Amino acid sequence: MAAQHCPASPGAEAGGKILITGMAGFIGYHLAKQLAQRGYELIGLDNLNDYYEVNLKYGRLEDLGIPRPQGRQKIPSSRYPNLCFAALDICDGEGIQKLFQGEQASPRPIEQVVHLAAQAGVRYSITHPQAYIAGNIQGFLNILEAVRAYPVRHLVYASSSSVYGLNRHIPFAETDKADQPASLYAASKRANELMAHSYAHLYGIPSTGLRFFTVYGPWGRPDMAPFLFTRAILQGRPIEVFNYGKMSRDFTYIGDIVEGIIRVMGHIPQAGGDLRAVPARLYNIGHGSPVELLDFIAALEAELGITAVKNMLPMQNGDVPSTWADCRALERDTGYRPQTDIRTGVKALVAWYREFYGIRA
């Protein structure tokens, strides 16, 4: 069953814009498309780096009606008159400040920021640590400084289930400690949460961090298992199955994730008494029901009609055996209830992959 949509109105009350960083990314693209279709005015940013195949990022932009950027100027969408895009790196602090200054002086200023731009990937953080300090620490600081100088009603930002690290208590709950990261990527995301909390305390910036759990679906990331497995199986190559298959993940379909983000955008933290004195919140956003890795692979095999050749390997550095989201807080506060089962989600992923890469069934 597909996700049910709610009549959320993020940022619409005063007619302001929504800024999405990382709009050419997996989640950013889907969020931008859904909000554009609902009529919200959007501006998107992305640096279009080559961490994974750039043509996939260009493909997402093209689907949004954005031609390949030739410079840093804003490009209007040919498909959605309420959407424009700028090729801008969040590490460019001066550029980010100028963008906010210009937008906040306009008749329709930015009201909400959804910050999704980041250097992703657990494994990549082991070999390229500097990229995570630049993108995830300095880049996030640049966004915080921009919303401090040019206040917005709400900052929503991407965290990760990776922050739970070596925590053995499952399902993972927001009240669990997150002080034993298993990778620099996880450490950088936990740092984002602490940075956002400090700015909420010091400057009253309402902020909500979302701990994403293994997002998959059409237009997904090539460095993540669902995409990697699909590609390898179709190409007749073995798939790498770590920890000898003794792993589980809280696989969450992209449509459910986007609906959850939109619900959170309409739920702005307020300063209050006791523990809620600071207008900062954290939520898990997952499916809430982990799937064994071998069962996910079996669903892919069934949809593809091909049996995978499995290369069984030990656990990788920085990885954890299982993830499982306790989403009760998000459901309580926003009504979030993911609806998409693995079979439905895998079917959509495979159908998109075949179409995008021109592979016949």
Helix (H, G, I), strand (E, B) or coil at 334: helix
Active site residue 185: yes
Reading the block at residue 232, the tokens are: 């390898």
Q: Which of these is catalytic: 132, 185, 216, 283? A: 185
Q: What is the DSSP string of 104-169?
A: HTSSS-EEEEEE------HHHHHH-HHHHIIIIIIHHHHHHHHHHHS--SEEEEEEEGGGGTT---
**Strand 110-115 with 280-285, pairing:** unpaired
Burial of 163 by CB count in 10 Å (0-12 exposed, 13-18 middle, 19+ buried)?
Answer: buried
The rounded distance, in Å, linking the Cα atoms of 33 and 20 is: 11
Burial of 130 by CB count in 10 Å (0-12 exposed, 13-18 middle, 19+ buried)?
Answer: exposed
Report the helix count and the strand count for the chain, using DSSP H and E: 12, 14
DSSP state at residue 276: G
Reading the block at residue 25, the tokens are: 């990314």
Question: Residue 85 forms beta bridges with which residues?
Answer: 44, 75
Reading the block at residue 26, the tokens are: 């997996």
Q: N- to C-terminal Cα distance for the chain?
A: 23
The rounded distance, in Å, linking the Cα atoms of 59 and 53 is: 10
The catalytic residues are: 185
